[in-house]
Amino acid sequence: MRKKNSQWMILLFIVVLCLSSCSIPNKKYYPEVSSLIIAEENLFRNAAEEISKLKEEYPQIWYISSTEKQTIYEPAQDFSHIEGLYIRLFSEEVYRSLDNPVLERVLQLEGVKQISISGDYFSIFLGSEGNVTLSIHCGFYYTDLKEGEEVYINRKIELSGGEMKEKGRGWEWVHPTRGQRAYVEKIIDNFYYCEYAY
């Protein structure tokens, strides 16, 4: 009986540890993310203009990366001719080379592997932590929309349901059945810290 109780206590301790170390909002990366945005605000605003132009040319753009940060692995096609900056289109397994000094500079920043593009915002995740039961990804997104706090979470609601609730200085979304969650908080105009846990 004593052995069974100690096993349950260990299991309970592990669950509590997992939940406490990976809770949202964790905001562990908030100082790092907000400092980066303040230091590179002009670069990110210029990047937003460049991304807007790319979205006009490639409406199905999914993300931008660099072969130095993220290898293209697509067994069905050969993309070995692409070196440096590239874009990935969403509806097709298509990658295209890209010559854009502004976006190249963004991808040279420490921790930036790709710039993800989704509707009315672009996002950059800079850090992650977690364990087998829960992982958290932290970064920021940029949007021109006035209701910027809602942009990221509304996308989660569109895809999976749930609702947006005020939490602390920001907003939170929780998946209705799976426990996935997101948290956003405004840093400065157009820039929002975000965490996504699954």
Cβ 130 vs Cβ 17: under 8 Å: no
pLDDT at 3: 54
pLDDT in tens, 163-175: 778 888 888 888 7
Residue type, 165: K
Dist. CA 186–CA 188, nearest whole Å: 6
pLDDT, mean of residues 14-32: 58
Angle, nearest 10°, between helix axes 30-39 and 41-57?
A: 80
Q: Kindly report the average pLDDT of the chain as a whole number.
A: 80
Residue 126 has pLDDT above 80, yes or no: yes
Other beta carbons within 10 angstroms of residue 101's beta carbon come to 9
pLDDT in tens, 35-80: 999 999 999 999 999 999 999 999 888 899 888 877 777 766 778 8
Minimal CA–CA distance to 141: which of 82, 63, 78? 63
pLDDT at 68: 83
